[in-house]
Chain A
Amino acid sequence: MKDRTRVQDFDWTLLAIVATICGLGVMEIYSSTHASAMAGMQWRQLTWLGIGIAGMFVISRIDYHSLLDQAPILYICGVAGLLVVMVIGSTHLGAKRWISMGGIFNLQVSELMKLIIIIVLARFFSEVRTDRLTLGDLVKVGALTIVPAALILKQPDLGTAMVLIPVAIVGAFIAGIEWRHMAIGAVLVALLIPVGWNMRHHLKAYQQQRIETFLHPEEDQRGAGYQILQSEIAVGSGGFWGKGFGKGSQNQLGFVPVRYSDFILAALAEEQGFIGVCVVLLLYLGLILRLVDNAQKAKDRAGMYVVMGVTAILGFHVLVNASMVIGYMPVTGIPLPLMSYGGSSTAFVFLALGLVMNVRMRRFVN
């Protein structure tokens, strides 16, 4: 069978939106860091972007069907990788998340696990031959998701662990979850919150701190509450039109925590104002809608589930990150995809987009 996929069949509209978001991100990284000891960070981010784009092309060439074929092996490898991290992972900032790859770079297995869970759940959902998900199916989906999520939570990395869940939820929704199951799930979550609350003492100190802070931000002004407060000050003081590029005092003087990464939206909100935030949010909305469009045009359900898995993760990232910046959610360390500085997260997003391109290019292929 002749491979008739062509690069021309990439979703260039989607990539234009992606490029715009990345451009705004690089610009804001430059603005946040150029006057500090971290100057030059934008070049490193551009390097990550380059690597990511290359990865996107590579992954788009491998037929997603063959990837889905290997789903069980990928899943086992992913879980094994997470176990390896627990044993020999290198510790950085109090968390074990990385496997040192011969000193060249540190592989963050949990980022890889995000891609694997997309593929594994896509495979699982496409095996459901009906439009109705049985309770047994739901339990299996839950189990497949919980195992890696629990391992990641153990690292500890609450943010990444949480990110796996929307893939399952969105997938289950599309696969035809029954309304009563959805209702039972909602009730279960509601019941689990108090249990989780009582379990909070088993969390790591910094996780407890973050929850405390989220509930009582005014009581902790130098810790995470300080971060949220400073982020809110940055956003609020930006006003409607913003203070101008490179002129945000909260950003430039370092009051906004990790302003080039997790809180990059706060930095942008301060300097570009409500207008700038709206442009960014609309770009992300465009990205999501375009992704859904790709899902709708997918050749088969498997491809659709792959694209929606990517959509779920990216949408969840944007929602949680933007909510955190304005104090609607606790600090969980979830970056803003495509804008926040960072190698692993940038690489993940482009590999995920590579999966999307993969599905798109093959919509006319038999």
Chain B
Amino acid sequence: MPSWNVNDQKIPQGRLALVSYLSVIFVVLLMVGFWKLQVVRSGHFADLADRNQTRSIPIIAPRGAMLDREGRVLVDSYPSFSILLLRDDPKSLGKSLPQIEEGLGISHEDLQQALDIAKNEPKFQPVVIKPAATQADIAFVESHRADLPLLELLMVQRRRYQHDEMLANAVGYVGEVSAQQLEDSDGHYRPGDIVGKAGLEREYNDQLEGTDGMRRVVVNSVGKVVRTLDDIESIPGKPIQLTIDYDLQAVAEADMAGKEGAVVAMDARTGEILAMVSRPTFNPNDFAVRIPQDEWAKLNTDKHTPLLNRAIQAQLAPGSVFKIVMAAAMLESKAIPASFTVYCPGHANFYGREFHCWRPLGHGTVGLHQAIVDSCDVFFYNVGKLLGIDAISYYGSGLGFGRRTGVDLPSEEPGLMPSEAWVERVYHHKWYAGETISVAVGQGAVTVTPIQLARMAAAVASGGTLVQPHFLKNATNMKTEHFQLSDSTVETVTQGLYGVVNEGGGTGYHLRLQNVDFCGKSGTAQLMSYDAANRLGTKKMDGWFVGFAPRRNPEIVVAAIVQDTLEHGGEAAGPVVRDVVKLYYDKKAARQQQQAGAEGPAQPYASHPLVATVGGQHP
């Protein structure tokens, strides 16, 4: 038997017992360890377990559609996918960023910016890193579920502007809620939420935006949804019906193509905006998805200001259109007899300064009617001189200049109707009497917006009723102002405006329409002083035309401006106004024909050829 197997030694019982005691101590220590986790800190870990497995996924409510007055869809929403980045795990987030940038084609700066905006939000709120995911993006996320569990797809509702640039400046655009808005909203918005940023989208944001729902789901360790815990349905935004008439809008847009300027067509009785164009413009669909930085910078720094809604924000000299106000002021103030006449030799001297009439050869002896029809400057210089700036200002203000029309769009500009008090308040000096002469023909300090001009013309033709322009069909609480004009004043002025279009020699004679009492006034505002223009040899002007029909209590009023043109207002802007007015009446005729239920189906208005009955050519 080998030496090791000699059983001559006792078992060391004491040391074995020591091993037993040691085992007991170790087990007790382990129990204490488990006690610490499972009893002392169990609440903390229960929270962590909960956060591990539950994820809240917003259900985005679609934004309400915008319809035209006949129910045609102008703007709506469609479902699309956004890619979310979960941030609850900062360490793996940092490591995964390069792979995400590569896989989804996002620049590092854009990704970092998205994270920065949301850095004060709770960590369990994901960040939108790519709105409008492509098929390839979705495939990338799906195929990297295991190694990039922090990417998540979210169904969102994307804004769709059916006709791209059409009505863009009025409709505005949507965009991601800004950091400032987030802060101000008091928790109402989350990062990445889409809100109205400009125009009607902003004005009616509360109606248009729905209430997002929330789905709480259980996810497993690779982020796969296992089951839904609960669902809070989203409430879609309400659609709004606009007063816009798609057909009139389309004609105005087409006429303004390639030009710079604006058009406002309004129902003269109610203030309903039928069409509004501003050129140059932009495509709001570009904003529906996050707009690239450079694109945004380009739109903002473009010297042609495509984001400016000229119809309500361009404050321009009204030129001869202002003569409507002058004529009304002359008749109403009774300071000057209605039979007042002036001899126009083509120029006149006031306060030692030479003022020109637009027609260098002069108009000869003219009365009020002829002065409106031919747009004689010298006549109105004299009227202005006799009235004085404060009387002009009184009537100008009364007819809506120098203050906002109250149209339901953000950022409307008020224009300026100067007065002696204004000059003293702003410039601290006395009013120069010579300035009055310029103001009398819509030059000098007076500036207006296209929408103000349309409203003023409607007011004069309807006896002084100033409507509140608006886009919302069935709008309530529309304020109507009354600036009393006597019937004889209205009759005389509107006869003049009728003459502009319908009398040979009128500045808008070429615009006349058959069977329509189409009235209007052209205006051509110098962009620089007469002498400077002659010196520089440039003749760039702002061409206005404001037209309405019928002559008394008009239904429709249209103001158009074509900026930076070589043509006079009657030629540059007149046809735009005429086309809109003509289509308005063509549609009306088609509607009446249909209502009469005459033989066979009525011809659709669209098939009526737009025949402009061109009259005498104006120089």
Return the chain B residue nearest A241 by Cβ.
B38
- Shortest CB distance B7–A (Å): 4
A288, B92: Cα distance in complex, Å:
42
Interface residue? A235 (CB, 8 A):
yes
- Pick the contact of A232: B5, B30, B45, B222 (CB < 8 A): B45
- Shortest CB distance B148–A (Å): 11
Interface residue? B296 (CB, 8 A):
no
Residues 37 to 75 of chain B near chain A (Cβ within 8 Å): 37-39, 41-42, 44-46, 48-50, 52-53
- Pick the contact of B222: A254, A288, A326 (CB < 8 A): A254
Interface residue? B301 (CB, 8 A):
no
- Pick the contact of A239: B15, B31, B42, B50 (CB < 8 A): B42
Stretch among A15-23, A215-223, A341-349 lining the B interface: A215-223
Residues 268 to 301 of chain A near chain B (Cβ within 8 Å): 269, 273-274, 277-278, 281-282, 284-285, 288-289, 292, 295-296, 298-301
Chain B contacts for A298, CB-based, 8 A: 11
Interface residue? A315 (CB, 8 A):
yes
Chain A contacts for B3, CB-based, 8 A: 127
Does A326 contact B34, Cβ atoms closer than 8 Å?
Answer: yes
- Pick the contact of A292: B4, B16, B48, B226 (CB < 8 A): B16
Interface residue? A351 (CB, 8 A):
no
- Pick the contact of B45: A170, A220, A235, A302 (CB < 8 A): A235
Q: A123-B4, A232-B45 given as contacts; is B89 within 8 A of A222 (CB)?
A: yes
Does B221 contact A254, Cβ atoms closer than 8 Å?
Answer: yes
Interface residue? B9 (CB, 8 A):
yes
Does B52 contact A220, Cβ atoms closer than 8 Å?
Answer: no
Interface residue? B476 (CB, 8 A):
no
Q: A296-B16, A311-B19 given as contacts; is B42 within 8 A of A236 (CB)?
A: yes
Q: A131-B12, A253-B221, A301-B9 given as contacts; is B34 within 8 A of A237 (CB)?
A: no
The digit string for A186-216, where 1 denotes a CB below 8 A from any CB of B, is 0000000000000000000000000000000
A75, B215: Cα distance in complex, Å:
63
Q: A249-B49, A296-B11, A323-B33 given as contacts; is B20 within 8 A of A289 (CB)?
A: yes
Interface residue? B24 (CB, 8 A):
yes
Q: A65-B5, A222-B91, A255-B221 given as contacts; is B49 within 8 A of A234 (CB)?
A: yes
Does A126 contact B4, Cβ atoms closer than 8 Å?
Answer: yes
The digit string for B78-105, where 1 denotes a CB below 8 A from any CB of A, is 0000000000010110010000000000
Does B220 contact A254, Cβ atoms closer than 8 Å?
Answer: yes
- Pick the contact of B38: A219, A274, A284, A292 (CB < 8 A): A274
A308, B18: Cα distance in complex, Å:
12
Does A253 contact B34, Cβ atoms closer than 8 Å?
Answer: no
Interface residue? A12 (CB, 8 A):
no
Interface residue? A43 (CB, 8 A):
no
Q: 19 other contacts beyond A69-B2, A236-B49, with CB at 8 A cut-off?
A: A126-B5, A127-B3, A131-B9, A174-B16, A222-B89, A222-B92, A233-B48, A237-B49, A240-B39, A249-B50, A250-B49, A253-B218, A278-B34, A295-B16, A304-B11, A308-B19, A319-B30, A322-B34, A326-B37
A-B contact pairs, 19 of them (CB 8 A): A68-B4, A69-B2, A221-B89, A221-B91, A236-B38, A237-B49, A249-B49, A254-B221, A255-B52, A274-B35, A285-B24, A285-B27, A298-B11, A302-B4, A304-B16, A308-B19, A322-B33, A322-B34, A323-B33
The 7 A-B pairs with the shortest beta carbon distances in the complex, nearest first, are A236-B45, A237-B49, A254-B221, A253-B220, A274-B38, A236-B37, A239-B42
